[in-house]
Chain A
């Protein structure tokens, strides 16, 4: 069909090819258009409300000007810290198992389950942790919020850790084992050390991913208009605060929501930038 063509047909086919390329190019533009639009409005509506007060003050009551999200920023940090305590050890060690031990078949199943777990909607984690922790202890708490985020991090970190450990050449392992180093020390001191940048990259990406999560926190961390003095009590988080301000009817609060959104996005992109720097060094070296 394609072998013998007259000149005319050839032009037509060329034109069709050009048209398809153009459409693909336009699609690519349309895909990144929302990014540009969101960024433009974040800067336009948020930048004017991000000031010193925003970072050091508690939210102001309705009707009062000013106020900030200091408690939400600190709260998000505390929640991420709690999540890291759960997600990092389980995720990294689980990833070590997938890369270094086990049979191919069983590991394929574990990998499969981790990937499926990755697709569980974030709101589901909120409901599950509510049932596990909030009902049991009869209180919304920072612990519950941290647990929900931490559980979400596990499959993410597990898979990235496994992938970077598999990139470590087998010669490294063989060399260490041949020197009489025990297997677990080989893994910890040689394999994980070699892949440490990659492991950290995976951890940072998982943190960036859960830092913006709102749904799992709605009925675990719950939010708090004041400082959290006790991790067993409700705590504020930046995404929660943005949500409750966005759906409120007050213009002042809308402005605060935009400011909070700008701060959150800048924070997440900052983490992503560190990741990019780390990976660049890794591929270059």
Chain B
């Protein structure tokens, strides 16, 4: 930079100098712009590639693909319903388990925990988020499944079998096991996003409630949680988006059977797992096309979930970006 700093020292001659070239500036701006635009390109690329890969399956099956439950590669009959059902049910189980735990943990981290405990606890939750899906699946196969098979599942069958949700033979690998493992995968993200949201609630809210004589829980419930409702909902939907697309861990414990059964102790199958399992085995062209179409369906529902989540989260002004700009 020494060359460019000369004009400042020799101010009188500055007028006589050539105006500096703007080429570098323009080039750099265009370079960075084109890199930033790659994210837009990628969204279209993904959509286009999935649609192209499945075009003939779409032509052949039309909307029936989403509504039929036959999955017979030999007869070349493909219907995605069991996978859509499995994806939705396993994600729903995951949300039922993960949402109360994550939000309560976020409340604990921002409102209740002693200050010294907050940072270590946050770090531990980040560590949980860093565990790869395949390792959680490994643990699921060899530790969680045998445990579930021996203790909680017989218990559920015995005492809650009448609901119809816990009937049939107990294999261990099951829709419920899949839901539990997904719950573990999405706990950290819902917790950390909820925590960010609760932290963004202005302290005035809390102070006002305390001043009225509210107890700690009342302050949390009335002043904090209801204020942050929308953002927390966004955090949940973001978790749902992750749950729908979760692949490895759930593939390893859900049993991979394309069936629609009420009992959660029976094996199921998800959109992501059928791709993971059968993609390299797809012998016929139409089979591969059908799997591409499954990918398209998965992409569609996760994009919708993420769009909703981002819109909800934007209303809360939580990201450090907005803080930095202000």
Contacts and interface: CB of A to CB of B under 8 A. Distances in A.
Interface of A: 2-3, 5, 13-14, 16-17, 19-21, 23-25, 27-28, 30-32, 34-35, 37-38, 41-42, 45, 89-91, 93-98, 100-102, 110-128, 130-132, 151, 154-155, 158, 162-163, 166-167, 179-185, 187-189, 208-209, 211-215, 218-219, 222, 239, 242-243, 246-247, 254, 257-258, 261, 264-265, 268-269, 272, 276
B98 to A, nearest CB: 9
A209 B246 CA distance: 14
A21 to B, nearest CB: 5
Interface of B: 1, 4-5, 7-8, 20, 22, 24-25, 27-29, 31-33, 35-40, 42-43, 45-46, 49-50, 52-53, 100-102, 104-105, 107-109, 111-113, 121, 123-128, 130-139, 141-143, 184, 187-188, 191, 212-218, 220-221, 238, 241-242, 244-248, 252, 272, 275-276, 279-280, 291-292, 295, 298-299, 302-303, 305-307, 309-310, 314, 319-321, 324-325
A32 B321 CA distance: 28
A24 B114 CA distance: 13
Given A213-B132, A246-B137, A90 B38 contact: yes
Q: Which of B108, B137, B242 neighbours the largest number of chain A CB atoms within 10 Å of its CB?
A: B108
Given A94-B32, A112-B310, A119-B242, 20 more contacts: A3-B212, A24-B111, A24-B112, A27-B101, A34-B128, A93-B35, A98-B36, A113-B43, A116-B43, A119-B245, A120-B302, A131-B49, A180-B8, A218-B280, A219-B279, A239-B248, A243-B248, A247-B141, A261-B135, A272-B127
Contact of A89 (B35, B131, B187, B325): B35
Given A121-B302, A246-B138, A16 B217 contact: yes
A17 B216 CA distance: 6
Contact of B39 (A28, A35, A117, A219): A117
A257 B298 CA distance: 29
Contacts of B33: 97, 101-102
28 contacts: A17-B218, A24-B107, A25-B113, A27-B101, A27-B108, A31-B102, A35-B124, A94-B36, A96-B32, A102-B36, A113-B39, A116-B303, A119-B241, A119-B309, A121-B246, A121-B302, A123-B247, A123-B295, A127-B50, A131-B52, A163-B320, A166-B324, A179-B5, A182-B25, A185-B1, A209-B130, A243-B137, A268-B132
Contacts of A113: 39-40, 43
